[in-house]
Amino acid sequence: MKMWLGASFVPADQYVELARAAERCGFDTFTLSDHLFYADFASRYPYSRSGAPRWTAETHWPDVWVTIGAMAAVTTTLRFSPNVYIAPARDLFTVAKLVSTAAVLSRERVTFGVGVGWCEEEFVGTGQDFHTRGRRLDRMLPELRALWSGETVTLDGLPPLSISPTPAGPVPVYVGGDSEAALRRAARFGDGWLGNRIYTEEQLDPVLDTLRRHLDENGRTGPFDIVAPLAVLPDAETYRRFAAKGVTATLAAPWWLATPEEKARYGEDTLDLKIATMERFAEEIIAKL
């Protein structure tokens, strides 16, 4: 079981030092989330009971690829992934260039965590059609893989073309979302699946059953990663039980479980608090896995 660090809602000026600490503590992959702007959204946020986002206009959403570039420059082994990048809110070549460049500059340490998104206003803002986002992502993923290969490709309405720079090897693609369509997309196009909420065991089991059905239908018999944020208190034995279900990685944000003593010593939402809780998590959990 690999440990991914979930670093959404973090102030932008903390990311670089958190990346250094994550590598030192033994985290495998550093994740950050993707949003373009804050507004009084009419779109319903699907991961809260009220339908309202769990953040405010003051919450930082730094650009995913700029931030990954900065973190890659101060680390050597830590991997990076958006959780998740809303690719169909952008055009094909913008996505291809950003991911390819980040993969090259990080020396192949980028995973492409991708999803269709829920916020129609962001699609309106970028001039992309919200209602066809799933179909467009299905078309985009094979095209991205072809462009990242460095080979000349032929796309509708364009002359044969290629992009550069491109990474030395394939960029892993992990598809996010637990709808039927998302799980089908992961099984068809992905190297892995990335859960988009925090799951109890009872919630995760039917999702895994559906994912396995789609993998079987697509003849997928080789390695396939399953990254599932788990609604359990950190415990090495519990993580081993989920690993037996096929979960290959989980997300953790150790500062969410900071003790009152740690908060009193380091303060709320400070960089020192985050690093202290990461170090404790590494000692109590990662070292035992």
- DSSP strand pairing (85-86 vs 112-115): parallel
Q: What was the pLDDT predicted at 193?
A: 98
Residue 146 confidence (pLDDT)? 97
CATH number, domain 2-288: 3.20.20.30
Structural contact between residues 123 and 117, judged by C-beta atoms closer than 8 angstroms: yes
**What's the pLDDT at 36?**
96
What does the alpha-carbon distance between residue 80 and residue 102 come to, in Å, rounded to a whole number?
10
End-to-end CA distance of the chain: 7
Domain ranges of the chain: 2-288
Q: Which residues contact 284 (CB under 8 A, 6 or more apart)?
A: 234
User: Which residues share a beta bridge with 227?
Assistant: 194, 249
Please give the distance of CA 266 from its chain centroid, rounded to a whole number. Answer: 28
> For residue 165, what pLDDT is reported?
97
Helix axes 201-217, 180-189, angle to 10 degrees: 50
Among 234, 270, 272, which residue's Cα sits nearest to residue 251? 234
From first to last of its 289 residues, the chain has per-residue pLDDT tens of 999 999 999 999 999 999 999 999 999 999 999 999 999 999 999 888 899 998 999 999 999 999 999 999 999 999 999 999 999 999 999 999 999 999 999 999 999 999 999 999 999 999 999 999 999 999 999 999 999 999 999 999 999 999 999 999 999 999 999 999 999 999 999 999 999 899 999 999 999 999 999 999 999 999 999 999 999 988 889 999 999 999 999 999 999 999 999 999 999 999 999 999 999 999 999 998 8
Report, in angstroms and rounded to the nearest whole number, the Rg of the chain calculated over CA atoms: 19
Q: Degrees (nearest 5) of the Cα angle 21, 96, 178?
A: 70
